[in-house]
């Protein structure tokens, strides 16, 4: 013990030693008291911040989940449950009804190659027609109002004859089908 005291340069007289012990003891007490007051306050503040962040995160996830379910339900409403090979007939039937109501003559129909995107098939469809401008607009409004499983992509109009009020045009529609078109082709759908 004597060697340790020499290395630490602790004073040899007893009064100085007691003063050193007293200062060290008070230092330990002060540090303990500070940690006792500061640490709980810091911990409770950190917990409050974490709790606030967790609540904000839960709120954001709730909003995202609601938006996701809204998008998923909108996709389900706008997708056909049949195969990509049969979607053309369904769309042609619907557009034919709208053309009849609008007194527009359908003159051509072509189904494009379907593409798979995110678990669904997108089928492009081209429809050629002949009619008066007001009747064609009526047909297009009926198609748009349907809110259906196909979407209006574009409408190209041109005058068929200068002396008549008839116009010709091409309507590009996109059909949405549940499932991958390659998977449907393998199943024979």
- Establish if 82 belongs to a structural domain: no
Q: What is the pLDDT of residue 143?
A: 84
CA distances from 138 to 95, 98, 100, 142 (A): 12, 9, 11, 6
Q: What is the pLDDT of residue 126?
A: 92
- The model carries a pTM of 0.53
* 86 neighbors 92 (Cβ within 8 angstroms): no
Number of domains in the chain: 2
Q: What is the pLDDT of residue 184?
A: 40
CATH number at residue 145: 3.30.70.60
Asked if 107 and 35 sit in the same domain, the reply is: no
Q: What is the pLDDT of residue 17?
A: 73
Q: What is the pLDDT of residue 4?
A: 57
Q: What is the pLDDT of residue 104?
A: 93
- Establish if 124 belongs to a structural domain: yes
Handedness of CA 109, 115, 117, 120 (dihedral sign): positive
Alpha carbons 182 and 189: distance in angstroms, whole number: 10
Asked if 58 and 97 sit in the same domain, the reply is: no
Domain that holds residue 141: 87-187
Q: Of 74, 98, 117, which one is at a domain's C-terminal end? A: 74
Q: What is the pLDDT of residue 74?
A: 66
Sites in the chain below the pLDDT cut of 50: 182-189
Q: What is the pLDDT of residue 188?
A: 37
């Amino acid at each position: 013990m004597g060697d340790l005291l020499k290395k630490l340069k602790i004073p040899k007289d007893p009064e100085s030693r007691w003063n050193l012990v007293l200062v060290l003891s008070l230092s330990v007490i002060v540090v303990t008291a500070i940690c006792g007051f500061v640490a709980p306050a810091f911990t409770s503040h950190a917990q409050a911040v974490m709790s606030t962040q967790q609540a904000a995160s839960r709120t954001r996830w709730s909003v995202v989940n609601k938006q996701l379910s809204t998008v998923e339900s909108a996709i389900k409403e706008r997708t056909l449950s049949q195969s990509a090979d049969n979607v053309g007939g369904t769309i042609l039937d619907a557009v034919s009804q709208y053309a009849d109501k609008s007194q527009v003559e359908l003159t051509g129909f072509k189904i494009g190659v379907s593409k798979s995107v995110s678990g669904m098939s997108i089928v492009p469809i081209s429809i050629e027609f002949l009619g008066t401008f007001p009747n064609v607009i009526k047909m297009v409004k009926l198609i748009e109002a349907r809110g259906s499983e196909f979407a209006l992509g574009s409408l190209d109009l041109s005058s068929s004859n200068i002396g008549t009020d008839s116009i010709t045009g091409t309507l590009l529609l996109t059909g949405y089908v549940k499932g991958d078109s390659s998977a449907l082709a393998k199943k024979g759908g």
